Amino acid sequence: MRHIYLFLILFLLPIFSISQVEYTYQIMTNRGQAKANTEVVLLETTSKDRKVYKTNAQGMVTFTIDSGKEWAVSVGEMRNCQYIKHKGGRGSGSSFLVYDMETYNRKNRPKVDRSTLNLKMEQQNFTRVSKLTPGHSMIQVNLTRRDGSTLKNYDVNLTCYKLGKTFQANTGKAGSAVFIVPVDNDYEIDIDGVETFSWCDLGPTPMTKIIDLDYEPTNIKEYKKGDFIVQELPTDAKPTSARVRVKLTVKGGENGGVNEDVYLRMIKSNKVYKAKTSSDGSATFLLPKQAKYLIDFNFQKDVDVVDLSRMEGFAYSEQTINYIPDPRLQYPERFIPTINELVLKDFTEFIDKQYPDPETDYLDFYLKWGNKFNENSKEAMLEVGLATKKNPGSAMGPPVNVCFVIDKSGSMSGYDRIEQLQKSLVNFVQKLRPTDIVSIVAFNSDAQVLVQPNSVGDKKALIDVISSIRSGGGTNIHEGLLKGFPLVEKNLIPKGTNKIVLLTDGYGTTPPEIIINTAKTYYDKGIELSAVGVGEGYNQALLTQLASSGGGLMHFAGDAKKIEEVFAKELSSVLYPVAKECTIEVKYNDQIVYRQLYGYPIENEKDGQLNIKVNNLYPGINKMAMIKFDLINATKEIEKKPVIITARYFDYSKNKEVVKSKKAHLEWDEATGELDLVLDKEQRKLYTIAVINQSLKQMSDNFTNGNNAEAQKILERTIAQVKKQFPNAEDKDIKELMDKMNGYMKAFHQLALNSKK
């Protein structure tokens, strides 16, 4: 098994007023050859200052660090392969590093979520054997304590995901655990609850591998209590080879952090460690290293992350956590509407229609009356459909001016979100044009500008910064936006795409109306906002209103795997604009009176003309507006007075303003005058929405009368019925209603949990 060998000798001279340390690196391949002309990048993990060097013919490079606290070192494609702590003073140091991509990739292989696997256990009790059975190799793991003595009678596991097995053995009296396992497989070496403490990969040829590991065992009382792991630690508990001493100090909560339950969920595992804070608000754990843990409280989930994935040696970790109880968990009953609070949308609001792709221009609109007319007609509904080409072809328009406002709070550590976000951002950057302007803001409890607005230019510099993002802290969406909007405003492109792309999985603490007003203010300046919500816990109402107020799009990524797909859609929208500054004028005669517009915000209405502001249009858009009119003394002459709809927009392909008009003729028919809006709609969908509305009324009625169990049963039956009608939840409106019902179900479950505490 290959390793990255790193020897660092640092000679510190007396500390002067100027802090400056000179480092000399020698980079060699795993075959002992000098790694010449190789890029070495240093990135300060907080300020994101970046220094770039290249090795000489001997594979050597010298650089000076005179600022910052921690620098991530990347060599070629080995990103963040070492971290240098800068503690001030003057001095020099030297380092030898082996450039081995195979070992680097193995070490940084994504962690497998074992909680989703059904691993079979196989006990082995072998001693060293002289002859191997065909198709098998021997792996001997030797454990040695800090004092050099062998670690006897200690359990060691080998886990193979390909085989779906965990092999168990004991070091015995000799301090060696011996395994006979199938060849051509990768094996993780697990010790004392630490998954992948080390590893051993076997090729197709039978062989014997001896692995020597330094290991100091953890001797503590630890037991399962229900679903949790509880530890009994002495006040002077010290870290070990496998475990880090973690001290969390809690601020906030109902008791000022005192006597609070703290839960640490190991990411990609089913292990949850539980402790209670003491009189000073602290809780101490001895946690397996090489892992990350999400912090939960009774009434706040995914608060922050404890990251032990980079911890080496005998390590300590301390964090202060702000506990802000989530009212959805603390008071779930407030989020279930009573019969007087229940607000239902009329199912006509859910009508969705797909319009044909425009045949000639990039934009077209379609008109249809919902009914015919006679002298008894009192109202009319005009459907105005708007469609843009799905695939406009080549990139058009001026450069894009985009700022990514990225949530890097602790909760982003879980569920592969931060890793997938980084991957998606890198792919996004790769496809941008050299003239496009990009900036990046990352936020948790605070916000930080990672990349100032500039032309894409050197994409590698952007990728280095993206790869360095680490998650931790709370969620402050508003602070991120306040940093991002001015960056876009600095380089505002007239008639161009000026946009914020916000990605978050959380709520934040700023009142929604303040955040929405900020988005509106900058939208009026020509800056759009598109939002991407990740996971089940994001604030859908807030992000939807933000995107609506900000003139952009709202995307939902149900899990981390869909982030890349969402970014691809957003990339298409910003790189391939169809039209800008689009407005629709509706002129009507004196026999009809405008009453209401559904689907778009009205700009103004007077003197028989309605102006609708659409603004920016992107590829593949299908939108519908419904305009409701009242009829005044309708006569057959109304057929000769059509409603005239005119669209005005700037067409990038023609580089000029385009004006397109169509007429919507009212049709006279003695037989009918009733609105008939749904005959050609999806009857199944509308019927289902009616059922949901009725069920929500019954749920609220039972909840109001204190019958929570019956209210929950009604929800369960309705959810099952909807799933039967729409098994794939392909309709976005049905999905929105399902999300609402599932939200109420969670509230009822939380009510039951709270009653037990």
Give the Cα separation of 649 and 581 in Å (integer): 5
pTM of the model: 0.63
Q: According to the model, what pLDDT value does residue 4 have?
A: 41
Q: What is the DSSP string of 618-665?
A: -TT-EEEEEEEEEESS--GGGGGS-EEEEEEEEETTTTEEEEEEEEE-
Q: Is the dihedral of CA 28, 31, 36, 40 positive or negative?
A: negative
Phi, psi of 13 (to 5 degrees): -90, 170
Kindly report the number of other CB atoms within 10 A of residue 438's CB atom: 24
Mean pLDDT per block of 10 residues along the chain (757 residues) reads 40 52 92 93 90 94 91 92 85 89 89 87 84 90 91 93 95 92 95 86 93 88 90 89 92 90 90 94 92 89 87 88 82 73 54 73 81 75 81 64 89 78 83 86 90 86 87 86 94 84 76 82 86 67 68 64 71 67 86 76 78 75 77 80 88 82 83 44 61 84 88 90 74 80 87 76
Quick check: 305 and 234 in contact, CB under 8 A? no
Containing 61, the helix (H) or strand (E) segment is: strand 60-65
Measured CA to CA, the distance from residue 224 to residue 230 in angstroms comes to 6
Q: What's the DSSP call for residue 126?
A: B
* Whole-angstrom distance, CA of residue 696 vs CA of residue 344: 8
**Do the beta carbons of residue 515 and residue 526 sit within 8 Å?**
no
Q: What integer pLDDT is reported at residue 686 of this predicted model?
A: 58
DSSP string, 694-709: HHHHHHHHHHHTT-HH
pLDDT of residue 634: 75
Torsion angle of the four alpha carbons 703, 707, 712, 718, in this order, in degrees rounded to the nearest 10: -80
Q: How far apart are CA 655 and CA 376, in angstroms?
A: 48
Query: What are the C-alpha distances in Å from 427 to residues 432, 436, 566?
Result: 9, 15, 12
**In sequence order, what DSSP letters do the residues of 205-262 get, joined into one string?**
S--EEEEEEE------EEEEETTEEEEE--TT----SSEEEEEEEEEETTTTTTT-EE
Helix (H) or strand (E) holding 752: helix 732-756
518: left (phi over 0), alpha (psi -120 to 50) or beta: alpha
Is the Cβ–Cβ distance between 545 and 569 less than 8 Å?
Answer: no
Q: How many Cα atoms are found within 13 Å in the side-chain-facing hemisphere of 490?
A: 14
Instruction: Provide DSSP, 377-431.
Output: --EEEEEEEEEE-S---S--SS-EEEEEEEE--GGGGGGGHHHHHHHHHHHHHHH
| 268-277 exposure pattern, b = at least 16 Cβ within 10 A, e = fewer | bbebbbbbeb
3-state DSSP assignment of residue 744: helix
Residue 396 burial (10 A CB sphere; 0-12, 13-18, 19+): middle
Residue 63 parent element (H or E): strand 60-65
| Distance (Å, whole) CA 356 – CA 577 | 19
pLDDT (0 to 100) of residue 574: 63
Please, which contacts does 689-698 make with residues 24 or more away whose CB atoms are closer than 8 Å?
689/347, 689/350, 689/733, 689/734, 689/737, 690/347, 691/718, 691/721, 691/722, 692/718, 692/722, 692/737, 692/741, 693/344, 693/347, 695/741, 696/342, 696/344, 696/741, 697/339, 697/342, 697/344
Residue 236 has a CB neighbour count (10 Å cut-off) of: 6
Least Cα distance to 159 among 194, 113, 190 occurs for: 190
Q: How does pLDDT run across 630-669, given as a tens digit for each residue? A: 888 778 888 888 899 998 888 877 778 889 999 988 888 7
CB contact at 8 A, 524 and 550: no
Token pair 């692995």 in the structure block, residue: 211
For strands 70-75 and 39-44, give the pairing. antiparallel
Tens digit of pLDDT for each residue in 388-432?
A: 877 655 555 667 899 999 988 887 877 778 888 888 888 888 878
In the three-class reduction of DSSP (H, G, I as helix; E, B as strand; rest coil), residue 332 is classed as: helix
- Say which DSSP state 204 is in: S
Which of 254, 247, 266 is closest to 300 using CA atoms? 254
DSSP track, 572-603: HHHHS--EEEEEEEEE--TTEEEEEEESS-EE
What whole-number distance in Å separates Cα of residue 393 and Cα of residue 249? 56
**Token pair in block for residue 44:** 């300060």
Q: Provide the 8-state DSSP code for 347.
A: G
Residue 365 near residue 401 (C-beta atoms within 8 A): no
Give yes or no for a contact between 71 and 65, defined as CB atoms under 8 angstroms apart.
yes
Reported as half-sphere exposure (CB side, CA atoms, 13 A), residue 681 has a value of: 19
Query: Sign of torsion, CA 136 137 142 143?
Result: negative
pLDDT of 2 reads 40
**What is the phi/psi pair of residue 40, to 5°?**
-120, 120
- Count helices and strands (H / E) in the chain: 11, 40
Is the distance from CB of 320 to CB of 252 less than 8 angstroms? no
CA distance 649 to 161: 57
Nearest to 273, CA basis, from 285, 281, 283, 282: 285
User: Is 491 in contact with 439 (CB distance < 8 Å)?
Assistant: no
700: tokens are 């609220």
User: Residue 23: exposed, middle, or buried by beta-carbon count in 10 A (0-12, 13-18, 19+)?
Assistant: buried
What single letter denotes the amino acid at residue 710? E
The Cα 577–Cα 392 span in angstroms is: 8
Phi first, then psi, for residue 424 (nearest 5°) are -70, -40
Cβ-proximal residues to 393 (8 Å cutoff; 6+ apart), any chain: 576
Predicted pLDDT at 181:
95
Q: In whole angstroms, what is the distance from residue 602 CA to residue 614 CA?
A: 9
- Per the listing, tokens 């390793």 go with 3
